[in-house]
Amino acid sequence: MIASSNTSKQGLNPYLPSWEYIPDAEPYVFDGRVYIYGSHDRFNGYVYCLNDYVCWSAPVENLADWRYEGVIYKKTDDPLNQDGSMCLYAPDVTVGPDGRYYLFYVLDHLSIVSVAVCDSPAGEYKFYGHVHYQDGIRLGERAGDQPQFDPGVLTEGEKTYLYTGFCAKGDKSRKGAMVTVLDKDMLTILEEPVFVAPSEPYSKGSGFEGHEFFEAPSIRKRGDTYYFVYSSIVFHELCYATSKSPTKDFVYGGVIVSNSDLHIDTYKPAQKPMFYGANNHGSIIEINGNWYIFYHRHTNGTNFSRQACAEPINFLEDGSIQQAEMTSCGLNGGPLVGKGEYPTYLACNLFCSEESMYTDWTASWMNNQFPKITQDGRDGDEEVGYIANMKDSATAGFKYFDCKGIRKVKIKTRGYANGCFEVRTSWDGPVLGKIQIEFSNIWKEYSANINIPDGAQSLYFTYTGPGSASFASFELE
């Protein structure tokens, strides 16, 4: 199965190849390139973050041209993990006062913050040390310390602000997200942890109610305002809070993105989930004058094969952020070309008649009841992704395309299914045409004469009939 050549010239979601699984991505611009630092899931993985840290980058003037920078840090590079039994959880990177690049991370079984360092953004990072108090005790190990998790970092002058925390709903032992101020050596604590966003049990009267801090702290500055980005107890959403200080007075702002597309009411009811969501992690960044939210989605019917996505965001005059809609064209700067062949792993909506807000890995794995984005082969194989398990009512949605004069739609499917794919330009709109498919154990092409209205359009494909189809691609002519 070969993807259309026009996909290599456009910004897509996910923006990395379909066989790459980078969640928790923190984006930064260094020397004219956007670099992505995240954890590294495994295709068909059984837990989170099984692989080593890798890095991808793209020139700021072409966000379709992503380059693999290679492995930047192996899990066995940490002296406490020489046997590789622990996983590298979500990292962050900052440039220290000495101009070097510092990688902050936490191993999955420890509640201390480790640091590695490198002379270039995507070179080979070397273990540097652990964040510690001035008496040498490591942060997270002193009596009364709360466990450290998901470090997010911002360096200003000779101070680095380290944001950490994990607070499950109902857990009264965790009070919220913390910020700790580090000295210029990037390890020694200057100012001890203080809380900047509350956990659920401690949120009454805070303004964070219903969207309390869960995990994934990230920090950015826009003008004179600090934006604290985090994953809330709602799980699938990234929220933000703002302050004029990096260490206090953060005020809840709203939701930036949901990987179920919940709360969006422009094209569907606000509470209708349009993708199988789960945890979320990412941040905001300005690239060539435009701002984006980077986040991740879930594939393969599990929580453990996550992929990096991004959407443009808009700031209102008061500095608030409008929630971004999930699309297939996030970094493209507009709709995709409404001609040619597109792989179906670009689906930004995926659902069936039985609604589910979250990726239900147990049901999907045991009962295979929901459609899912997946791939052939093993982890690392450069196999183009596709949608499996398109049973009756399963719908895949793609947004947006600049359509002009489309009169025919082709699809590629395989599997034991004998029905048809209905084509619409909205999830609940009229059927514009039907494409009949048959049983086949190889990828086979089918087509129908279908007129797609001119203009920026969504495309929705709904399977109806018996059996279960795999859906590889569609082509617009």
Residues of the chain with pLDDT > 90, as a percent, come to 95
* Domains delineated in the chain: 13-334 (2.115.10.20), 338-476 (2.60.120.260)
Rg value, the chain, Cα: 22
Q: For residue range 179-223, list pLDDT tens digits in order.
A: 999 999 999 999 999 999 999 999 999 999 999 999 999 999 999
pLDDT, averaged across the chain: 96
pLDDT at 140: 98
Tell me if 437 sits within 8 A of 419, measured CB to CB.
yes
Mean pLDDT of 324-328: 98
- Residues noted as catalytic: 24, 215
Query: In terms of Cα–Cα distance, which of 362, 471, 459 is closest to 414?
Result: 471
Cβ partners under 8 Å of residue 22, min gap 6: 16, 36, 38, 39, 40, 41, 54, 56, 296, 306, 307, 308
pLDDT at 358: 83
Distances in Å between the Cα of 46 and the Cα atoms of 51, 85, 303 are 12, 14, 9
Please provide the distance, in angstroms rounded to a whole number, between the alpha carbons at the two ends of the chain: 19
Query: Does position 2 have pLDDT exceeding 60, yes or no?
Result: no
pLDDT at 258: 98
d(CA 62, CA 9): 9
Cβ partners under 8 Å of residue 467, min gap 6: 391, 415, 416, 417, 418, 419, 439
Q: For residue range 216-251, list pLDDT tens digits in order.
A: 999 999 999 999 999 999 999 999 999 999 999 999
Distances in Å between the Cα of 177 and the Cα atoms of 163, 231, 431 are 7, 11, 48
Confidence of residue 369 (pLDDT cuts 50, 70, 90): confident
Phi/psi of residue 364, each to 5°? -65, -40
Mean pLDDT of 110-119: 98
Enter the pTM of the model.
0.97
Query: Does position 364 have pLDDT exceeding 60, yes or no?
Result: no
Q: For residue range 253-271, list pLDDT tens digits in order.
A: 999 999 999 999 999 999 9
Query: Does position 8 have pLDDT exceeding 60, yes or no?
Result: yes
Query: Does position 66 have pLDDT exceeding 80, yes or no?
Result: yes
Q: For residue range 72-99, list pLDDT tens digits in order.
A: 999 999 999 999 999 999 999 999 999 9
Q: For residue range 392-449, list pLDDT tens digits in order.
A: 999 999 999 999 999 999 999 999 999 999 999 999 999 999 999 999 999 999 999 9
Give the tokens for residue 410: 């082709």
Q: Which residues are registered as beta bridge partners of 467?
A: 417
Mean pLDDT of 32-59: 98
Distances in Å between the Cα of 461 and the Cα atoms of 87, 131, 398, 437, 467 are 38, 51, 9, 13, 16
Mean pLDDT of 14-25: 98
Higher pLDDT, 365 or 30: 30
Q: Which residues are registered as beta bridge partners of 115?
A: 104, 129
Confidence of residue 360 (pLDDT cuts 50, 70, 90): low
pLDDT at 357: 87
Mean pLDDT of 35-51: 97
Give the tokens for residue 447: 């087509």
Residues of the chain with pLDDT > 70, as a percent, come to 97
Token pair 């209205």 is found at 453
Query: In terms of Cα–Cα distance, which of 221, 262, 308, 231 is closest to 36?
Result: 308
